[in-house]
Amino acid sequence: MPSEELLDRAAKAVLDNVGLLARRLRQRPVTGQLSQSGTAVLRRLARTPATVADLARAEGVRPQSMGAVVASLEGGGLVKRQRDRDDGRRVRLTLTKAGREVAERGRSPRGEQLAKGLASGFSDEELEQLVAAAPLLARLASRLS
């Protein structure tokens, strides 16, 4: 069991630095057609079809909020609705050809911002440390919800 001191230091380090990163990203304008939520939805749908409710749960948002994201993606021709073969009452979302191409491009506008920041002044070892820390941050986020 970690000591209270170590827990406090870790919590402060994560909160201070992740908070700073989030504020900096919000301060910088982003160009591109997709929001961060839209990009996340495309990536999820590239792995497997899902309902709006499935996506909302996975992203930790209300179904109404996810509905707005999906409507935007649908309007852009990136996703389409299809009746579930096993349960005709369910509607699953899938990627269109254009949606798959966008999802496969890899980087969202925010991802591009981060990559540019990482390209200057970080060693390969530091980049590997960030890659190694990312799953820990995701695990921490899942324990907070």
Convert the pLDDT of each residue in 14-72 to its tens digit: 999 999 998 887 777 655 557 778 888 999 999 999 999 999 999 999 999 999 999 98
Residue 49 inside a domain? The answer is yes
Domains: count for the chain: 1
Residue 121 inside a domain? The answer is no
53 in Cβ contact with 63 (< 8 Å): yes
* CA–CA gap between residue 66 and residue 121 (Å, rounded): 37
Domain of 51, CATH number, reads: 1.10.10.10
- Tell me the CA distances in angstroms from 112 to 18, 19, 23, 37, 61, one per residue in order: 18, 19, 16, 15, 24
* CA–CA gap between residue 89 and residue 69 (Å, rounded): 22
**Number of CB atoms found within 10 A of residue 65's CB:** 14
* CA–CA gap between residue 133 and residue 44 (Å, rounded): 21
Residues 6+ apart with CB under 8 A from 135: none
Q: Which domain holds residue 40?
A: 33-105
Check: pTM over 0.85? Answer yes or no.
no
* CA–CA gap between residue 110 and residue 127 (Å, rounded): 17
Residue 28 inside a domain? The answer is no
Quickly state the pLDDT bin for 107 (edges 50, 70, 90).
low
Residue 98 inside a domain? The answer is yes
Residue 85 inside a domain? The answer is yes
- Tell me the CA distances in angstroms from 102 to 105, 121, 144, one per residue in order: 5, 29, 31
Residue 70 inside a domain? The answer is yes
Residue 14 inside a domain? The answer is no
**Number of CB atoms found within 10 A of residue 134's CB:** 10
The pLDDT, as a whole number, for residue 92 is 94
The pLDDT, as a whole number, for residue 68 is 93
Residue 127 inside a domain? The answer is no
